[in-house]
């Protein structure tokens, strides 16, 4: 694997809905009760490395909620811009978040868009919580 550098101006983020997400869980913002907040703009992602290690950049709109979910591998996230509530903690730029494999969590974006880098030892399976209100 060669050195890969992606500067902010070179990002090529595309709208995504994570694999296996329940309808409306990631393509549009939802409250912690599962109620719609806004349909646009969606989460955007750019996969930086699709192998070992796996890494992607994510941009989420203000007040977006990424519904409760877990991953099959440990994940390290670094917040680059914006703020988010994760596991009861307010997290801002420079915050490093380590989520163990199979640990369920959600992300509630603050009043400004959130940009973060997500890294794992390799690709992971997503598991979405089934306790959302319909």
Taking only the tens place, the pLDDT of each residue in 66-90 is 999 999 999 999 999 999 999 999 9
Whether 28 has a pLDDT exceeding 80, the answer reads no
- Residue 2 is assigned to a structural domain of this protein: no
Strand-pairing partners, residue 36, are 30
Residue 5 falls within a domain, yes or no?
Answer: no
pLDDT digits (tens, 9 = 90+) for 91-111: 999 999 999 999 999 999 999
Residue 86: partners with Cβ closer than 8 Å, 6 or more residues away: 97, 105, 106, 107, 108
Does residue 1 lie within any of the structural domains?
no
Q: Which residue has the higher pLDDT, 26 or 116?
A: 116
Say if 54 falls within a structural domain: yes
Residue 25 has pLDDT above 80, yes or no: no
Mean pLDDT of 3-30: 68
Q: Is residue 87 part of a domain?
A: yes
pLDDT one-digit tens code per residue, 37-73? 444 568 999 999 988 999 999 999 999 999 999 999 9
Q: What percent of the chain has pLDDT over 70?
A: 78
Return the pLDDT at 112: 96
How many structural domains comprise the chain? Answer: 1
**What proportions of the chain, in percent to the nearest 5, are helix, strand and coil?**
0, 45, 55
Structure-block tokens of residue 28: 């549009």
Tell me whether residue 133 is in a domain.
no
Distance CA 60, CA 66 (A): 9
Question: Rounded distance, CA 14 to CA 47, Å?
Answer: 10
Task: List Cβ neighbours of 78 (8 Å cut-off, separation of 6 or more).
Answer: 94, 95, 96, 97, 116, 117, 119
Whether 4 maps to a domain, the answer reads no
High-pLDDT (> 90) share of the chain, %: 57
Q: Does 123 reside within a domain?
A: yes
40: domain CATH number is: 2.60.120.10
Q: What is the Cβ-side half-sphere exposure of residue 13, based on CA atoms within 13 angstroms?
A: 20
φ, ψ dihedrals at 60, nearest 5°? -120, 140
Structural domain of 26: 12-128
């Amino acid at each position: 694997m060669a050195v890969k550098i992606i500067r902010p101006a070179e990002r090529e983020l595309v709208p995504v809905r994570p694999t296996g997400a329940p309808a409306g869980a990631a393509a549009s913002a939802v409250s912690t009760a599962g109620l719609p907040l806004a349909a646009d703009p969606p989460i955007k992602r750019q996969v930086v490395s699709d192998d070992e290690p796996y890494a992607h950049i994510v941009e989420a709109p203000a007040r977006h909620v990424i519904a409760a979910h877990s991953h099959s591998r440990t994940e390290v996230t670094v917040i680059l811009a914006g703020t988010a509530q994760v596991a009861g903690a307010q997290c801002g730029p420079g915050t490093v978040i380590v989520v163990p494999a199979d640990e369920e969590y959600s992300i509630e974006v603050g009043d400004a868009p959130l940009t973060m880098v997500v890294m794992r030892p390799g690709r992971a399976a997503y598991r979405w919580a089934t306790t959302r209100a319909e």
